[in-house]
Amino acid sequence: MSKLLNLALGILAAIGGFVDIGDLVFNTAAGATFGYQLMWVIPIGVVGIIVYSEMCGRVAAVSGKAVFDAVRERVGFKAGLFALISSELVNLLTLAAEIGGVAIALQLLSGLDYVVLLPLTVVGLAVVVWTTQLDWIERIFGYGGLCLLVFAVAAVKLGPPWVKVGNGFIPHLAQNNPWLYLYFVVGLLGAAMTPYEVYFYSSGGIEDRWTPKDIGLNRANAIVGYGLGGFLSLALMITGAAVFLKHGINPEHLGTIALGTEEPLGKIGLLLALVGILFAVGGASIDTVFSGAYNLAQFFGWEWGRYRHPAGAPRFTLTWLVLFVAAFAIVVTGVDPVMLTEYAVIFSAVALPLTYIPILLVANDPEYMRANRNGRLANVLGLVYLVMIMVIAITAIPLMLITNVGQN
């Protein structure tokens, strides 16, 4: 019974924890720009993150290797170092955007000044990480993030044209402004398959001491958690379409995204949306800062782990502290967190193959994986997504330049 309860609790936390600032920004902006025409991209992104999370969770359970162990062993020191540096840079951009997002949510909830709230946000998050065990962090931020379900209520209450919503699930190209449309396709997929989620997921499996017996748990976690998280993405896009497209608003501010719930649900809707954004993005920043520390420690073979006290893994601890400071230094320049998010998502799309190719290689290695290596389904899906990721990686920056970062 307690195992079922644990699974249920874990899944709840995963729903709240799936949505980060990239999902919030891209799903809402896609709805506000193209209505329901991009709904089809969401399930594709969700299946992608499920396929690769399941794979690297299984690798962690069977071989005890996290993503950057695998990267280094499979592609060697030089290419691995290149992958490491790009991942860390993308991670840092993402972290900076998330910290800015938390500060904006706090600003809208408290009325205090954004510039005052930025250092408080960073110090507050660092204190939480220093003093709180990570399973509690996951629960607190995961359950708080569940407030985002208000977007699902809002989406239904807005009474969108369901036939149009349904048609949006059929892949097609928009007639008007196809480049911008493609930019959103890449952004939505990049936001759904953000690499830090995979780093965090696989390292978490090792910290939770998964063994081959936990392969079923891993599969359930990945499918249900990310699947239901994708459901929130759909709600965000519907709200974006039903509220902002109608009024011709481009939600360029994080607060505007929350406003999508005010029209159908009033002040209480807005409040829940802001609290949801605060916890979801706050949780995501902790996941991101840990991912950065995991990657570095795994690549160089340092002691790492969130279940060790901070002094038990000194260089790991110093890494996440430094990442917090560096992210603060970026966001305190006054750069807009929503803009930062777009850059973070597009650059992470470019870096995706560096992470996913080694995972696919290791998951197929009979020596490590024995009977648990990839089956046909995992390999077919893995290869299909790999090709897609390559196309995304190559087209992401040209599309960003053509569309002036989604501004035209």
Partner 1 sequence: MAKVHIGKNVLDHQLLDKNGRRCGNVDDLGIEDDVVVAIYSGPGVWPQRAGWIGRLAGWIGGGNRVRIPWDEVAKIDSAVHLKQTAADYGLGSGDDRLRPYLEKIPGSHR
- Is the CB of 60 or the CB of 258 nearer to partner 1? 60
Specify the stretch interacting with partner 1 by CB under 8 A; choose among 39-47, 74-82, 110-118, 159-167: 74-82
Q: Which residue's structure tokens are 């509690």?
A: 136
From CA 276, how far away is CA 269, in angstroms rounded? Answer: 10
From CA 158, how far away is CA 29, in angstroms rounded? Answer: 17
- Is the CB of 26 or the CB of 299 nearer to partner 1? 299
Specify the stretch interacting with partner 1 by CB under 8 A; choose among 103-111, 251-259, 305-313, 387-395: 305-313
Q: Is 159 in the site for partner 1 (CB under 8 A)?
A: no
- What is the dihedral angle through the alpha carbons of 142, 144, 145, 147, rounded to the nearest 10 degrees? 140
Cβ at position 130, least distance to partner 1 in Å = 6
Taking CB under 8 A as the criterion, the residue among 72, 139, 306, 373 binding partner 1 is 72
Cβ at position 91, least distance to partner 1 in Å = 17
- Is the CB of 28 or the CB of 319 nearer to partner 1? 319
Contact track, partner 1, 102-131, x by CB under 8 A: ----------------------------xx
Q: Is 85 in the site for partner 1 (CB under 8 A)?
A: yes
Q: Is 313 in the site for partner 1 (CB under 8 A)?
A: yes
Taking CB under 8 A as the criterion, the residue among 6, 82, 172, 266 binding partner 1 is 82
175 to 119, 163, 164, 181, 193: CA distances (angstroms): 45, 19, 16, 9, 27
Q: Which of residues 17-56 bind partner 1 (CB under 8 A)?
A: none
Residue 268 token pair: 């209480």
- Is the CB of 62 or the CB of 105 nearer to partner 1? 62
Q: Is 164 in the site for partner 1 (CB under 8 A)?
A: no
Specify the stretch interacting with partner 1 by CB under 8 A; choose among 10-18, 60-68, 215-223, 389-397: 60-68
DSSP 161: -
- Is the CB of 78 or the CB of 247 nearer to partner 1? 78
Residue 9 token pair: 């609790």
Q: Is 81 in the site for partner 1 (CB under 8 A)?
A: yes
From CA 66, how far away is CA 56, in angstroms rounded? Answer: 7
Nearest alpha-carbon partner for 65 in 338, 359, 262: 359
Cβ at position 219, least distance to partner 1 in Å = 22
Q: Which residue's structure tokens are 């959103």?
A: 184
Residues 6 or more apart whose CB falls under 8 angstroms from that of 62 comprise: 212, 215, 368, 369, 370, 372
Cβ at position 1, least distance to partner 1 in Å = 30
- 8 A C-beta contact, residue 261 and residue 108: no
- Is the CB of 71 or the CB of 193 nearer to partner 1? 71
Specify the stretch interacting with partner 1 by CB under 8 A; choose among 149-157, 249-257, 260-268, 298-306: 298-306
Residue 331 token pair: 């966001």
- 8 A C-beta contact, residue 323 and residue 92: yes
- Packing angle between helix 195-207 and helix 67-110, nearest 10 degrees? 110
Q: Is 214 in the site for partner 1 (CB under 8 A)?
A: no
Q: Is 315 in the site for partner 1 (CB under 8 A)?
A: yes
Q: What's the residue count for the chain?
A: 408
Q: Is 246 in the site for partner 1 (CB under 8 A)?
A: no
From CA 77, how far away is CA 299, in angstroms rounded? Answer: 9
Cβ at position 73, least distance to partner 1 in Å = 5
Q: Is 65 in the site for partner 1 (CB under 8 A)?
A: yes
From CA 392, how far away is CA 218, in angstroms rounded? Answer: 27
H helices present in 111-133, as ranges = 114-131
Q: Is 170 in the site for partner 1 (CB under 8 A)?
A: no
Q: Is 311 in the site for partner 1 (CB under 8 A)?
A: yes
Taking CB under 8 A as the criterion, the residue among 162, 309, 383, 407 binding partner 1 is 309
> Residue 174, class by beta-carbon neighbours within 10 Å (0-12 exposed, 13-18 middle, 19+ buried)?
middle
Taking CB under 8 A as the criterion, the residue among 114, 143, 231, 302 binding partner 1 is 302
Q: Both ends of the chain: CA-CA distance in Å?
A: 54
Given the rule CB under 8 A, which residues bind partner 1?
63-65, 69, 72-73, 76-78, 80-82, 85, 130-131, 297, 299-304, 309-311, 313-315, 317-318, 367-368
